[in-house]
Amino acid sequence: MKKPDLLELRPTQFVLGMKEIESKVSKMKGFSNKEMLAFCSDHPIPVVLGPKNQIFMIDHHHFARACWEQKVKDYSIKIIKDLSSKNERDFWNFMIRENWVYLYDQFGMGPHSPKALPSDVRCLADDPFRSLAWAVRDAGYIKKHDMPFFEFKWAAFFRLNLDIELHSKSNFKSAIALAIKLAKSKEARHLPGFI
Protein backbone atom coordinates (compact mmCIF):
# COMPACT_ATOMS: atom_id res chain seq x y z
CA MET A 1 0.00 0.00 0.00
CA LYS A 2 1.28 3.44 -0.94
CA LYS A 3 1.78 5.65 2.10
CA PRO A 4 -1.18 8.06 2.32
CA ASP A 5 -0.85 11.78 2.85
CA LEU A 6 -1.32 12.76 6.51
CA LEU A 7 -4.54 14.60 5.64
CA GLU A 8 -5.97 11.37 4.23
CA LEU A 9 -5.79 9.74 7.66
CA ARG A 10 -9.22 10.07 9.28
CA PRO A 11 -9.29 10.84 13.03
CA THR A 12 -11.23 8.63 15.43
CA GLN A 13 -11.54 11.36 18.05
CA PHE A 14 -12.87 14.91 18.14
CA VAL A 15 -10.14 16.63 20.13
CA LEU A 16 -6.45 17.01 20.90
CA GLY A 17 -4.50 18.62 23.70
CA MET A 18 -2.75 21.51 21.96
CA LYS A 19 -0.17 21.84 24.76
CA GLU A 20 1.00 18.32 23.89
CA ILE A 21 1.16 19.28 20.19
CA GLU A 22 3.23 22.36 21.04
CA SER A 23 5.62 20.22 23.07
CA LYS A 24 6.00 17.64 20.29
CA VAL A 25 6.55 20.33 17.64
CA SER A 26 9.17 22.03 19.81
CA LYS A 27 10.97 18.70 20.34
CA MET A 28 10.82 17.83 16.62
CA LYS A 29 12.23 21.22 15.60
CA GLY A 30 15.45 20.32 17.39
CA PHE A 31 15.92 17.01 15.56
CA SER A 32 18.53 16.41 12.91
CA ASN A 33 17.32 14.56 9.80
CA LYS A 34 18.68 11.30 11.22
CA GLU A 35 16.96 11.86 14.58
CA MET A 36 13.69 12.70 12.83
CA LEU A 37 13.86 9.47 10.80
CA ALA A 38 14.50 7.45 13.97
CA PHE A 39 11.70 9.24 15.86
CA CYS A 40 9.19 8.62 13.07
CA SER A 41 10.32 5.01 12.74
CA ASP A 42 9.63 4.51 16.47
CA HIS A 43 6.11 5.97 16.16
CA PRO A 44 4.21 4.26 13.32
CA ILE A 45 0.62 5.52 13.19
CA PRO A 46 -1.76 2.58 13.79
CA VAL A 47 -4.59 2.58 11.28
CA VAL A 48 -7.68 0.61 10.34
CA LEU A 49 -8.83 0.36 6.74
CA GLY A 50 -12.49 1.26 6.52
CA PRO A 51 -15.33 1.49 4.00
CA LYS A 52 -14.79 3.46 0.78
CA ASN A 53 -11.00 3.01 1.09
CA GLN A 54 -10.81 5.42 4.00
CA ILE A 55 -7.92 5.05 6.45
CA PHE A 56 -8.65 5.69 10.14
CA MET A 57 -6.02 6.47 12.78
CA ILE A 58 -6.74 4.66 16.03
CA ASP A 59 -3.88 6.26 17.98
CA HIS A 60 -1.03 8.81 17.64
CA HIS A 61 -3.31 11.68 16.64
CA HIS A 62 -1.01 14.14 18.46
CA PHE A 63 2.03 12.79 16.64
CA ALA A 64 0.22 12.98 13.29
CA ARG A 65 -0.81 16.60 13.92
CA ALA A 66 2.74 17.53 14.95
CA CYS A 67 4.07 15.88 11.77
CA TRP A 68 1.58 17.86 9.70
CA GLU A 69 2.57 21.13 11.39
CA GLN A 70 6.27 20.36 10.78
CA LYS A 71 5.64 19.17 7.19
CA VAL A 72 7.23 15.82 8.08
CA LYS A 73 6.94 13.27 5.28
CA ASP A 74 8.92 10.42 6.83
CA TYR A 75 6.15 9.06 9.07
CA SER A 76 4.92 5.51 8.65
CA ILE A 77 1.62 3.73 9.24
CA LYS A 78 0.88 0.28 10.61
CA ILE A 79 -2.31 -1.43 9.43
CA ILE A 80 -3.97 -3.01 12.46
CA LYS A 81 -7.11 -4.32 10.74
CA ASP A 82 -8.66 -4.33 7.28
CA LEU A 83 -12.38 -3.62 7.63
CA SER A 84 -12.80 -2.18 4.15
CA SER A 85 -15.37 -4.84 3.23
CA LYS A 86 -17.76 -3.77 6.02
CA ASN A 87 -20.60 -1.32 5.51
CA GLU A 88 -20.56 1.94 7.51
CA ARG A 89 -22.85 0.70 10.29
CA ASP A 90 -20.97 -2.56 10.86
CA PHE A 91 -17.64 -0.75 10.64
CA TRP A 92 -18.53 1.77 13.35
CA ASN A 93 -20.13 -0.86 15.57
CA PHE A 94 -16.89 -2.84 15.37
CA MET A 95 -14.78 0.27 16.11
CA ILE A 96 -16.92 1.13 19.14
CA ARG A 97 -16.76 -2.46 20.46
CA GLU A 98 -12.95 -2.46 20.13
CA ASN A 99 -12.72 0.95 21.85
CA TRP A 100 -10.94 2.32 18.75
CA VAL A 101 -12.99 5.50 18.61
CA TYR A 102 -13.59 8.27 21.18
CA LEU A 103 -16.84 10.11 20.55
CA TYR A 104 -16.71 12.91 23.14
CA ASP A 105 -15.94 16.55 22.35
CA GLN A 106 -13.83 19.28 23.99
CA PHE A 107 -16.63 20.00 26.47
CA GLY A 108 -16.92 16.38 27.57
CA MET A 109 -20.23 16.07 25.74
CA GLY A 110 -21.15 12.93 23.83
CA PRO A 111 -21.09 10.34 22.62
CA HIS A 112 -21.60 11.94 19.24
CA SER A 113 -22.23 10.10 15.99
CA PRO A 114 -19.06 8.85 14.26
CA LYS A 115 -20.40 10.62 11.15
CA ALA A 116 -19.56 13.91 12.89
CA LEU A 117 -15.86 13.07 13.35
CA PRO A 118 -13.45 15.59 11.80
CA SER A 119 -12.15 14.83 8.33
CA ASP A 120 -8.45 15.27 9.18
CA VAL A 121 -5.98 16.31 11.91
CA ARG A 122 -6.34 20.02 11.09
CA CYS A 123 -9.98 19.94 12.21
CA LEU A 124 -9.55 18.52 15.71
CA ALA A 125 -10.62 20.88 18.51
CA ASP A 126 -8.43 21.78 21.49
CA ASP A 127 -9.43 20.23 24.81
CA PRO A 128 -7.41 21.97 27.55
CA PHE A 129 -8.29 19.17 29.98
CA ARG A 130 -6.69 16.66 27.60
CA SER A 131 -3.59 18.89 27.69
CA LEU A 132 -3.80 18.83 31.47
CA ALA A 133 -3.91 15.01 31.53
CA TRP A 134 -0.84 14.92 29.26
CA ALA A 135 1.03 17.43 31.46
CA VAL A 136 0.34 15.40 34.62
CA ARG A 137 1.47 12.21 32.86
CA ASP A 138 4.56 13.99 31.50
CA ALA A 139 5.38 15.13 35.04
CA GLY A 140 5.34 11.48 36.16
CA TYR A 141 2.10 11.37 38.15
CA ILE A 142 0.18 9.17 35.70
CA LYS A 143 1.72 6.05 34.21
CA LYS A 144 1.37 5.45 30.46
CA HIS A 145 -1.26 2.79 29.88
CA ASP A 146 -2.14 0.52 26.94
CA MET A 147 -5.87 1.24 27.16
CA PRO A 148 -6.96 3.24 24.11
CA PHE A 149 -7.78 6.89 24.90
CA PHE A 150 -6.81 6.47 28.57
CA GLU A 151 -5.71 10.12 28.79
CA PHE A 152 -9.27 11.14 27.90
CA LYS A 153 -10.52 9.29 31.00
CA TRP A 154 -8.15 11.46 33.04
CA ALA A 155 -9.28 14.58 31.16
CA ALA A 156 -12.92 13.79 31.96
CA PHE A 157 -11.99 13.15 35.61
CA PHE A 158 -10.16 16.50 35.87
CA ARG A 159 -13.00 18.32 34.09
CA LEU A 160 -15.51 16.91 36.58
CA ASN A 161 -13.47 17.24 39.78
CA LEU A 162 -11.38 20.39 39.41
CA ASP A 163 -13.29 23.57 40.05
CA ILE A 164 -11.44 25.50 37.35
CA GLU A 165 -12.06 26.80 33.86
CA LEU A 166 -9.33 26.07 31.36
CA HIS A 167 -8.76 28.05 28.17
CA SER A 168 -5.84 29.66 26.34
CA LYS A 169 -5.53 32.49 28.89
CA SER A 170 -5.62 30.20 31.94
CA ASN A 171 -2.73 29.81 34.34
CA PHE A 172 -1.81 26.33 33.16
CA LYS A 173 0.96 25.82 35.74
CA SER A 174 -1.40 26.34 38.66
CA ALA A 175 -3.92 23.99 36.98
CA ILE A 176 -1.18 21.33 36.72
CA ALA A 177 -0.44 21.66 40.44
CA LEU A 178 -4.13 21.15 41.31
CA ALA A 179 -4.41 18.23 38.88
CA ILE A 180 -1.31 16.50 40.32
CA LYS A 181 -2.82 16.70 43.79
CA LEU A 182 -6.07 15.19 42.49
CA ALA A 183 -4.19 12.50 40.49
CA LYS A 184 -2.56 11.29 43.72
CA SER A 185 -5.87 11.17 45.62
CA LYS A 186 -7.91 8.07 46.40
CA GLU A 187 -10.64 9.42 44.10
CA ALA A 188 -8.34 8.69 41.13
CA ARG A 189 -7.54 5.07 42.06
CA HIS A 190 -9.99 3.63 39.50
CA LEU A 191 -8.31 5.36 36.54
CA PRO A 192 -5.89 3.58 34.17
CA GLY A 193 -2.31 4.62 34.91
CA PHE A 194 -2.95 5.58 38.54
CA ILE A 195 0.31 5.48 40.50
pLDDT tens column, 83-135: 999 999 999 999 999 999 999 999 999 999 999 999 999 999 999 999 999 99
3-state SS, residue 46:
strand
Q: What's the pTM?
A: 0.93
Tell whether 131 is covered by a domain: yes
User: Model confidence at 36, in pLDDT bands (50, 70, 90)?
Assistant: very high
Domain boundary pick from 80, 108, 125 = 125
Q: What is the CATH number of the domain that holds 17?
A: 3.90.1530.10
Is residue 66 within 8 A of residue 28, CB to CB? The reply is yes
Give the C-alpha separation, 135 to 172, whole Å: 10
Give the C-alpha separation, 163 to 105, whole Å: 19
pLDDT of residue 165: 85
Instruction: Tell which residue, 1, 72, 64, 83, has the closest CA to residue 35.
Output: 72
Domain boundary pick from 102, 125, 148 = 125
pLDDT tens column, 63-88: 999 999 999 988 999 999 999 999 99
| R_g over Cα of the chain | 17
Tell whether 180 is covered by a domain: yes
pLDDT of residue 168: 67
pLDDT tens column, 169-190: 778 899 999 999 999 999 999 9
Domain that holds residue 111: 6-125
**% of the chain beyond a pLDDT of 70:** 99
